[in-house]
Structure 1
Amino acid sequence: MNASSQPTIEQAVYPSLAGKRVVITGGGTGIGAALVSAFAQQGARVFFIDIAVKESRALEESLKECAVAPTFLHCNLQDLDALAATFVLIEKLAGAVDILVNNAANDDRHQVGDVSAAYWDERMAVNLRHQFFCAQAVAPGMREQGRGAILNLGSISWHLALPNLTLYMTAKAAIEGLTRGLARDLGRDGVRVNCIIPGAVRTPRQTRLWHNPEEEAKILAAQCLEQRVEPHDVAALALFLASDSAARCSGRDYYVDAGWYGA
């Protein structure tokens, strides 16, 4: 299959996901929107958190015919008080969370010399800190149930040492350590924690800001498979890892990058 071929999208059905209470951060656009759609189509009760109101409302409307329509909740994940209140609300509406997908992130570029202490703190809050505190919020309910799944979204970027992304790559590298720590600390209570590492995913934001034709050609040349990774490819992996089919998967990193080995 060449780069221009469009493969058929196949989505497995996981009976164990039906009725599960799922929280997805950054669910309004890009990979997050694909995650929301995929879990909703499994019959899960999905709550998705985002600051992009217009896009999130549109996604919510587009999925209203699902057996259980997803629910959008506006929250700035940098505000830890608002984050905590949002999870209290979710538990009040639906009960303990079964599956958490820590997807929210922002890969804005920067120059090393331009980074201030305030910008450092803001980038860590946007890309790393909330993943821990979201996990902390759902852990008591998961422990009480004796089961649960947490999926953290990492990035291929730091494995490739891409330019102008030092703070983003710092946060994403830390997420792999966070995943291992949480997997160990929560594993005795039946909670599984894994990290999904996407490659160069073709989202509207990436296409608009970074992936011009020249950059796309470089990406395809560096991948083993000469097809772009799409948001639904990431969602397909997330469904498996969240389901009972992955019952013995925890504390590990799972790549969906078309075999990208070059920068």
Structure 2
Amino acid sequence: MPVSDISPTATFHDLKEASVFITGGGSGIGAALTDGFLGQGAKVAFVGRSDANRFCDEMQEKHGQRPLFIQCDITDIPALKSAINSAATAHGPITTLVNNAANDLRHKASEVTEEFWDKAMAINLKAYFFACQAVEQGMRAAGGGSIINFSSISYMMGNAGYPVYTTANSGINGMTRSLAREFGDGAIRVNALAPGWVLTQKQKEMWATPEDLAAHLARQCLKEHLAPQDIVDGVLFLASKASRMMTGQALVIDGGVVGTG
């Protein structure tokens, strides 16, 4: 099945009118997440560095509801916290947070400077923590919520080519488990989601050579390439009460490349 032909598979009724906040929700997998939550009837706010008003126009035309876009660099923590507060004011306390924004710029260990390290960690780990911190009290007041932290299978595979990124990915799992324990008494669930190689437009343009695609597909148990919708369905499940007793876990959606347990 071509990846573009994959359609939504489930309706999660408890997500209707839910207040959802997504980092990097205007492009790539993030845009698919915004689309997916709007399709469930949720109220979606998202942040991104690039102007996303055209995308918001498309979403309003498609769903009859416009997402709230706040232009923001997530490494600016005060700005990120302000965006979260603005979203809660507009849509009510945030009950689903999706930490999706990341940067997997390729690099070698020998090339890493302190400046590069700090910048990569600010994007790929630090912003995640402070977004979680910023939504905790609102979720407690609302009676609970769900936090979904995007990781990646790259660190599980021991991939070379981006060691600072994989370090942050592994750190996301540790953070997720600790926050699940700390936030659990407020009925706040915290889970990680580790996608495999999802064929977004960026991946197709930058790294998806025919040879690399064939090699990766050979490692998968399921012989189809992953599409953004495969990840959206997993996030919707983690956001909904269908997963109400699932927390501190890492959900892997990769077609069967890595094994867990």
Tell me the TM-score normalised to structure 1 length.
0.94
Deviations 1:138-160 (A, max 9, x none): 10001112210000001000000
Partner of 2:56: 60
Distance 1:134 1:34 in 2: 20
Structure 1 pair 167–8 and aligned structure 2 pair: CA distance change class (3 A): closer
Structure 1 pair 8–102 and aligned structure 2 pair: CA distance change class (3 A): closer
2:45 is the alignment partner of 1:47: yes
Distance 2:184 2:64 in 1: 32
In structure 2, the residue corresponding to 1:259 is in which secondary structure? coil
Deviations 1:140-199 (A, max 9, x none): 001112210000001000000111110000000000011101100000110011111100
Q: Are the aligned partners of 1:195 and 1:253 in contact in 2 as well (CA < 8 Å)?
A: yes
2:179 is the alignment partner of 1:211: no
Select 1:37's aligned residue among 35, 38, 48: 35
In structure 1, the residue corresponding to 2:60 is in which secondary structure? coil
2:231 is the alignment partner of 1:242: no
Distance 2:144 2:169 in 1: 26
Select 1:178's aligned residue among 175, 178, 203: 175
In structure 2, the residue corresponding to 1:64 is in which secondary structure? helix
Structure 1 pair 114–61 and aligned structure 2 pair: CA distance change class (3 A): same
**Gapped runs of 5+ residues in structure 1?**
none
Written as runs of structure 1 = structure 2, the 5 A alignment for 1:110-259 is 110-259=107-256
Superposed CA RMSD in Å reads 1.5
Structure 1 pair 207–259 and aligned structure 2 pair: CA distance change class (3 A): same
Deviation at 1:100, TM superposition (A): 0.2
In structure 1, the residue corresponding to 2:141 is in which secondary structure? helix
Q: Are the aligned partners of 1:44 and 1:68 in contact in 2 as well (CA < 8 Å)?
A: no
Tell me the TM-score normalised to structure 2 length.
0.95
Deviations 1:55-87 (A, max 9, x none): x22221111032432111100001111111111
* Runs (4+) off by over 3 Å: 3-8
Partner of 2:15: 17
Distance 1:252 1:5 in 2: 27
Deviations 1:194-230 (A, max 9, x none): 1111000101111111111111011101110111111
**One-letter code of the match for 2:73?**
N
Structure 1 pair 217–251 and aligned structure 2 pair: CA distance change class (3 A): same
Q: Are the aligned partners of 1:43 and 1:67 in contact in 2 as well (CA < 8 Å)?
A: no
Structure 1 pair 5–98 and aligned structure 2 pair: CA distance change class (3 A): closer
Deviation at 1:4, TM superposition (A): 5.8
Partner of 1:88: 85
Structure 1 pair 78–86 and aligned structure 2 pair: CA distance change class (3 A): same
Select 2:66's aligned residue among 65, 69, 93: 69
Distance 1:32 1:209 in 2: 18
Q: Are the aligned partners of 2:68 and 2:87 in contact in 1 as well (CA < 8 Å)?
A: no
